Chains A and B, each alone.
Chain A
Amino acid sequence: MAAELKIVLQRVLIPVVMALVVGGIILLALGKDPLDYYGIVLQRSLLRSGGAQETVTRMAPLLLIAAGLIVAFRAGIWNLGGDGQFLLAAVASAALAPVLAADLPRALNLAVCMIVGALVGALWSVIPALLKARYGVNEIITTLMMSFLGTSLANVLIKLVLRDPDTTVPQTRSLGVDDRLPRLFGTTIHSGLVLAILAVILVHFMMTRTAFGLKLQVLGANRAAAVHAGLRVERLTIIAFALSAGFIGLAGAVEVLGVWGSVRADWNPALGLLVVPLVFLARFNGYAVIGITLFFSALTVGGESAARRVGVPQHYVLVLVALLLLFLALVEYRDQSRRKPSAAAT
């Protein structure tokens, strides 16, 4: 246990400190006080209850996307089209929820909308999935293009079809606050977070403890071996794609049903690509994903308020995120190259 703790400290704490130090030097160079900035980040993201709630709330979509990416990446599928899947699902559930709210009880409405979101996400992966499974067309190209298409299509739908006539800015009709995902224990955290954590744990369990998960892993590690072992490679590819995009779609639905209540035109949080490195650095481990996501979320929430206070642009936090990714990757590299000689000796 002590050894594990040490590894965690080395792998996480060292890169975090290095990223903060380098980021601090940049702030100093701009004539800002880094301690001031970091102090506000910490206070606003974790120490103040409002900020902490915001931090935790923001984890929900990140976790659901991460769950989807773990499934895909483990199966050797590069689903980089998360943004399109996310937005279309968000628009679909935003369009449906206010309409159904009139007729269905809240719980049923939310369940239906989330399922629809997941289905829409999955649907948007069908073409890349079929092209990959049948003809081996590289899915990086197809998912990226479907993502661009989906993002534009979401805007078209909002502007031309689903537009709420009562607003000046094009957006969908808003779902009443009382019809949204219930909040937890009187906080601003909505219950989608519970769903997201469950999803990540479920995926982790599926990948490590079930025959289906192992089949996906065989497919991802060695496609020829999957064929040799008699796995239904085409079917597995399509299912993995659908699951992956389904979770990402669910993330879109949860974000709308839990936080926003509607989708504005040109809204795109662009989380699809951002979560990719987080999942890698967690080595596809569900629990590690939860930890990394918490940190990432705190950094973005705190960074936004701190930026305003200290007088740097909001996007400065992206520099920190990039530094963190670089140092995490570097530390992992150093770990691996250290372990290699001993492994070779066995």
Chain B
Amino acid sequence: MINATQAVQSTEAPRGFPIPVAALRRITKRFPGVVALDRVSLEFHAGEIHVLLGENGAGKSTLVSLLAGMQEPDEGEILIDGLPVSIDSPRHSMDLGIGAVFQRVSLVPSLTVIENLMLGGSWLRSLARGAALRRFDELSALLATRIDPDAPMSGLSLGEQQQVEIMRALWRDEKLLLLDEPTSMLTPQGVADLGRMMHRLKEKGVALILVTHKLLEAYEFGDRISVLRLGTVAGDIAPQRLQTMSEAERTETVIGLMFGAADPGAVPAQDHEDELAILLGGKLRRAGSVDRSKPAKLSARALVTMPDFAETPLHAVSFELWAGEVLGIAGVDGNGQKHLAEVLAGQRSLRQGRLELAGFDITRGRVPERRLRGIRYVTDDRLGEGTVGTFSVATNLVLKEIGASPFWRHGISDWPLIYQSAREQILRNDIRTPSELTPVGKLSGGNVQKVLLARELDAEANVAILNKPTYGLDLHNQRLALDRIVAAAARGVAVIVISTDLDELLEISDRVGVMFRGSLAGIVENDAAAGSKVRRLMTGSAAA
């Protein structure tokens, strides 16, 4: 067993030449009630991909926002090229040669690609389109991307939008590139493309900071890994050291730093293994035993939806789903998954096709009727449509039951009962909230998801559709969400899990289906060969 502290080099150690592109010296940043960063010192070097690894709330995003000029530190100093600076605005950050790509896409949907890239020029001048297009071509060549500069932003996939973001961050030959959780929205292909891009930039001498909470990404892309925990640098693994370690050693070290300070034994063994399983992916395969001799619980025949803007419609989707089964739906984002989920939930009407629940035709039923029959839908857009952010946790827990007994009698609300029931749900589902009256928008992403899971995976659930149930959650909450899904299936709920994270699907599914351009390209049994079959289906090659 390797002691984690041994692997850690002091960040204060002298390194000699060259001067780091950026350096933080004892940076402290406080928010009301929290110390987000506590005397953090770090150095970022040219031609190096520096991974900042840590759980949600470790201070990674705060650190990035300081360098990007979105916030200013309370104490300590930032040095760029060895000179102390105070970065008081995004503009100033850009002027210092820092480019940033944030988790949430911040491009104007109503403008074209090239217009988005030209944003920020001096007001009184007319647009220098020619020069912008030349720069666009240069960057396209550098990053090996192929995007139409005149395409409207709203028409691009998330991966392409991110490529445009990276172009913008490098528009003025920035020498330091910040990437805040850039892979969280990407498909496996998109992640691979991003890796290639980062490599090319590194070769060009750009200093890259990659913020992530995924261990495998850190290994794959990082030259240097710094682990943040509770606002401090828990440790730092230098490139030389990283290269000489075996994968097991790295994992041991990093996990120790992320969760258990110097002593990995401090983490309870069970948690430790679960987290490790998620970090490494796909190791906890569920041994399913679904009885498919009985009639199917849910059967979909040739579902077709109307196209609407920016979403791929369904094109003759058919499948059957049995009680107690978990059907994973894999596929690159935007291949019709959202329509499938909404059609099943009754939120979107069908143009053609037939839906049966236990032999009963439910094609025409809308959300309330479907819900009454036990169909549940956990949306991936948790704050956009899943909850009303300004409403209390209690109200959001009954959002889909408005007007139904026992919480409403003759249309009159029984608030005491609603609040009491909410308090019970909060306890039972370990929702971390000051009270049941707290607006749901003030909760963390993990707790919002707990509210949704509590609302949808109730005792009366028959069929549950979950769209990207772990998206944007930290490891602990990913684990909890997956556990709840598996537990629901064990109770006999027929479950559909839509995700772009294949490892996760392989972990919990009995079968995995693949969506491609609005059709189900195929459904495969989740056996040892499932992973490669599914990957082939995702690219649109012939059915396995």
Contact = CB atoms under 8 A, between A and B. Distances in A.
A, B bound? yes
Interface of A: 208-212, 214-215, 217-218, 221-222, 224-225, 227-231, 341-346
Residue among B384, B391, B402 with most chain A CB within 10 A: B402
A343 B442 contact: yes
Nearest to B367: A230
Residue among A208, A212, A228 with most chain B CB within 10 A: A228
Given A222-B385, A346-B442, A215 B402 contact: yes
B32 A230 contact: no
A224 B438 CA distance: 21
B82 interface: no
Nearest to A341: B32
Contacts of A228: 347, 367, 377, 379, 385-386
Which are the 10 A-B pairs with shortest beta-carbon distances? A230-B367, A345-B33, A211-B403, A224-B385, A228-B385, A345-B32, A341-B32, A222-B388, A346-B434, A211-B408
17 contacts: A208-B413, A209-B413, A210-B412, A211-B412, A214-B402, A221-B391, A222-B384, A225-B385, A227-B347, A228-B377, A229-B367, A230-B347, A230-B366, A230-B371, A344-B31, A344-B442, A346-B442
B408 A230 contact: no
B97 to A, nearest CB: 33
Contacts of A342: 32
A214 B386 contact: no
Contacts of A208: 413
B395 interface: yes
Nearest to B438: A346
Given A209-B415, A218-B391, A227-B347, 11 more contacts: A210-B411, A211-B412, A212-B403, A215-B402, A229-B367, A229-B400, A229-B402, A230-B347, A230-B370, A230-B371, A346-B442
Contacts of B368: 230
Contacts of B400: 229-230
Nearest to A230: B367
A225 B32 contact: no
A215 B403 CA distance: 9
B32 A212 contact: no
Contact of A221 (B371, B388, B413): B388
Interface of B: 31-34, 346-347, 366-368, 370-371, 377, 379, 381, 384-391, 395, 399-400, 402-403, 408, 411-413, 415, 434, 438, 442
A211 B438 contact: no
A207 to B, nearest CB: 11
Nearest to B33: A345
Contacts of B377: 228
Contacts of B379: 228
A158 to B, nearest CB: 41
Given A228-B379, A230-B400, A346-B442, A211 B388 contact: no
B32 A218 contact: no
A224 B403 contact: no
Contacts of A227: 347, 385
Nearest to A212: B411
A208 B412 CA distance: 10
A211 B33 contact: no
A56 to B, nearest CB: 31
Contacts, number: 79
Nearest to A218: B388
Contacts of B434: 346
A208 B391 CA distance: 12
Nearest to A231: B402
B387 A211 contact: no
B442 A214 contact: no
B412 A224 contact: no
A135 B34 CA distance: 46
A222 B396 CA distance: 12
A230 B370 CA distance: 10
B277 to A, nearest CB: 32
B386 A225 contact: yes
A239 B377 CA distance: 28
Residue among B377, B385, B415 with most chain A CB within 10 A: B385
A209 B413 CA distance: 5
A210 B413 CA distance: 5
Contacts of B389: 221-222
A228 B32 CA distance: 34
A217 B384 CA distance: 16
Contacts of B381: 224
Nearest to A345: B33
Contacts of A211: 402-403, 408, 411-413
Nearest to A343: B442
Residue among B366, B411, B434 with most chain A CB within 10 A: B411
Contacts of B390: 221
Nearest to B415: A209
Contacts of A346: 33, 434, 438, 442
B412 A209 contact: yes
A215 B390 CA distance: 14
A79 B390 CA distance: 22
A227 B367 CA distance: 9
A345 to B, nearest CB: 3
B309 to A, nearest CB: 13
A221 B415 CA distance: 19
A217 B390 CA distance: 11
Nearest to A219: B388
Nearest to A205: B412
A24 to B, nearest CB: 39
Nearest to B398: A214
A218 B402 CA distance: 10
Nearest to B377: A228
B388 A230 contact: no
A229 B377 CA distance: 10
Contacts of B346: 230
Contact of A224 (B31, B32, B384, B399): B384
A212 B370 CA distance: 20
Contacts of A210: 408, 411-413
A198 to B, nearest CB: 18
A210 to B, nearest CB: 5
A341 B388 CA distance: 22
Contacts of A221: 388-391
Nearest to A208: B413
A211 B410 CA distance: 9
Contacts of B402: 211, 214-215, 218, 229, 231
Nearest to B414: A209
Contacts of B384: 222, 224-225
Contacts of B391: 217-218, 221
B35 to A, nearest CB: 12
Contacts of A222: 384-385, 387-389
Nearest to A210: B411
A231 B413 CA distance: 17
Residue among A224, A227, A344 with most chain B CB within 10 A: A224
Contacts of A231: 402
Contacts of B395: 214
Contact of B399 (A229, A344, A345): A229
B442 to A, nearest CB: 7
A202 to B, nearest CB: 13
Contacts of B413: 208-211, 214
Residue among B32, B34, B390 with most chain A CB within 10 A: B32
A208 B411 CA distance: 12
A215 B400 CA distance: 10
A231 B32 CA distance: 38
Contacts of A217: 391
A47 B385 CA distance: 53
Contacts of A218: 388, 391, 399, 402
Given A210-B413, A231-B402, A344-B31, A225 B387 contact: yes
A211 B367 CA distance: 17
Contacts of A214: 395, 402, 413
A346 B447 CA distance: 14
Contacts of A230: 346-347, 366-368, 370-371, 400
